[in-house]
Amino acid sequence: MSETVYGPVTDWATDFDHGSPAYAANQHKIWDDLKNSGCPIAHTERYGGTWLPLTHEMVHSIAYDTDHFSSEGPVVGQLKPSEVPDRIGAPIGPVPPISSDPPFHNEARRLLLPAFSPKMIDPWRDEVIEICNKLIDDMGDADHIDAALQYSQHIPVMVIARMLGLPVEDGDKFRGWVNLVLSGIGEERTEERMQKFMEFNEYLAYHVTDHKENPREDLISFLLNAEIFGEKLSLEHAVGTVILLLIAGIDTTWSGIGSSLWHLATNSVDRRRLVENPDMIPTAVEEFLRAYAPVTMARVVKEDMEFHGVQMKKEDWVLLPFPAANRDDKQFANAHEVVIDREENRHAAFGLGIHRCLGSNLARLEMNVAVEVFLQRFPDFSVDANEMVTWSTGQVRGPRTLPFVVNARA
Ligand code: HEM
């Protein structure tokens, strides 16, 4: 993985780059070093000016403060939202509801809620079990597997593509676009990124239009029937929401599953406990979500303002590192320890405030089933010491390669 277009980082407090491979590999250490050196909020001129608050209190207060911080740019880019050509601005934003501000946000979110309720998500359990088992069957009887390339990266793609009504065989395309939007933020020049993004948009516009002409029983057809302010959604709104669901549904859960398996491969005591007590898995998954929270979201400063002693300027980016909030000692006892039977665990992995994750029922289902099936089939596995575990860059963090040695199969 190469450096971003901005070059190597010179100082994490004043020149950090959350798109750099060094940040992806050492996130927690970088945050701890910053906090220990008396810097609870870091800054960089990169991406046109970006802030990185590190305490739970700061992340919480920004997430709840929709008067001063807009969701118009949930992912930091090389262009500010106002510089993006033909951009749908606040309060709607390009990918509602995650890019929307009140009062529009409430309506755009409300129309999606029924599709992600436990009643709609629970029935997917058997299908997710089948997907996980089939992926393991496809590994044959090899002693060396890659649990990211052969397992975690496929599960959420297969589930969300089926839910939306998109071709499951286009999984590679979806992962490529997810990578473009979330991981490659600092890798390529803006023009190349925009060209690829247009292809993504056109692909989905084609499928949404096809669903309009040939309605089916899936999430895209559900969206096309939904109403906002008494009217059907515009094509732009529907396509924007499908983009969001595809992106939010894939990278996040892929990362969550991968980090959980990485933990179990590197902590044999925890692995054995879960193999012997599978009913502990849901509690352990909550702890994996807390300790290895994959998602950092962004906000855009609405007007020049002071925040905890720093001067933020209109249109500055502000990152919301929910993973850092989850490791704050003031919020959690032994925050840096992974305690798989932690009793009290009000973690922020799914966000805080009005944008709290809409897909959390689905994410939890996929993570629980993925861990459960993996442990059933591979009760003993470890990281292959001769190969590298690699981590994604950008605002969603999780392992992208997980070379494992299978020590026992069931
Ligand atoms: C482990 C997996 C997941 C994690 C950690 C996660 C995390 C998050 C976070 C932190 C937010 C808040 C964003 C913000 O404050 O700007 C969010 C919002 C959202 N997530 Fe997830 N997510 C996961 C899986 C999913 C899945 C599977 C879906 C659905 C397919 C989904 C759909 C959404 C949507 C639609 C929003 C926007 C809600 C709003 O703006 O009101 N997420 N997610």
Query: Which amino acid, residue 196?
Result: K
Q: Which helix (H) or strand (E) holds 158?
A: helix 155-164
Q: Whose CA is nearest to atom 7 of ligand 1?
A: 350
Instruction: Please tell me the distance from the alpha carbon of residue 195 to that of residue 287, in angstroms, as a whole number.
Output: 39
- Ramachandran category for residue 104: left, alpha or beta (phi over 0 → left; psi -120 to 50 → alpha): alpha
296 CA: nearest ligand 1 atom: 10
CA of 249 to the centre of ligand 1 (A): 7
Residue in 324, 309, 336, 396 with CA at minimum distance from that of residue 53 = 324
3-state SS, residue 271: helix
- Tell me which residues have their CB closer than 6 angstroms to ligand 1: 63, 71, 74, 97-98, 109, 160, 244-245, 248-249, 252-253, 256, 294-295, 297, 322, 349-351, 355, 357-359, 362-363
Q: In which band, very low, low, confident or very high, does the pLDDT at 2 lie, cut at 50, 70 and 90?
A: low
Domains and CATH numbers, the chain: 21-408 (1.10.630.10)
Q: Say what percent of the chain tops pLDDT 90.
A: 86
Beta strands (DSSP E) in 157-203 are none
> Cα–Cα distances in Å, from 271 out to 106, 263, 290, 371?
41, 8, 18, 10
Phi, psi of 397 (to 5 degrees): -115, 130
- Ramachandran category for residue 47: left, alpha or beta (phi over 0 → left; psi -120 to 50 → alpha): left
Lowest-confidence segment of 20-34, 41-55, 134-148 by average pLDDT: 20-34
| Sign of the four-CA dihedral 163, 167, 171, 177 | negative
- The answer, yes or no, to whether residue 182 has pLDDT greater than 80, is no
pLDDT tens-digit series, residues 288-347: 999 999 999 999 999 999 999 999 999 999 999 999 999 999 999 999 999 999 999 999
Choice from 59, 252, 255, 366 to test ligand 1 binding pocket (greatest atom count within 8 A of CB): 252
Q: Which helix (H) or strand (E) holds 145?
A: strand 144-146
What does the H/E/C string look like for 80-95? CHHHCCCCCCCCCCCC
Residue in 301, 308, 274 with CA at minimum distance from that of residue 288 = 274
CA of 250 to the centre of ligand 1 (A): 10
CA of 381 to the centre of ligand 1 (A): 30
CA of 149 to the centre of ligand 1 (A): 23
pLDDT tens-digit series, residues 32-57: 999 999 999 999 999 999 999 999 99
8 Å CB contact between 128 and 257: no
3-state SS, residue 373: helix
Q: b or e along 19-49 (b: 16 or more beta carbons within 10 Å of the residue's beta carbon)?
A: bbbbbbeebeebbeebbeeebbbbbbebbbb
What token pair was written down for 167? 């071709």
156 CA: nearest ligand 1 atom: 27
Q: How many degrees, rounded to 5, is the angle at CA 387 between CA 386 and CA 390? A: 150
73-78 mean pLDDT: 90
Query: Which amino acid, residue 292?
Result: Y
- The answer, yes or no, to whether residue 232 has pLDDT greater than 90, is yes
DSSP 43-60: EESGGG-EEEE-SHHHHH
Q: Is the pTM here over 0.85, yes or no?
A: yes
Q: Please give the order of strands across the beta sheet that includes 41-44.
A: 41-44, 50-53, 317-321, 296-301, 69-70
Choice from 65, 113, 297, 357 to test ligand 1 binding pocket (greatest atom count within 8 A of CB): 357
What token pair was written down for 42? 């870091």
Residue in 313, 395, 293, 397 with CA at minimum distance from that of residue 75 = 395
Instruction: Please tell me the distance from the alpha carbon of residue 42 to that of residue 276, in angstroms, as a whole number.
Output: 44
Instruction: Please tell me the distance from the alpha carbon of residue 172 to that of residue 409, in angstroms, as a whole number.
Output: 29
pLDDT tens-digit series, residues 81-114: 998 888 888 999 999 999 999 999 999 999 999 9
According to DSSP, residue 152 is labeled I
- Ramachandran category for residue 211: left, alpha or beta (phi over 0 → left; psi -120 to 50 → alpha): alpha
CA of 252 to the centre of ligand 1 (A): 8
Q: What is the pLDDT of residue 193?
A: 76
Tokens 């094509």, located at residue = 235
3-state SS, residue 404: strand
CA of 17 to the centre of ligand 1 (A): 23
Tell me whether strands 317-321 and 50-53 are parallel, antiparallel or unpaired: parallel
Q: What is the pLDDT of residue 1?
A: 52
CA of 356 to the centre of ligand 1 (A): 7
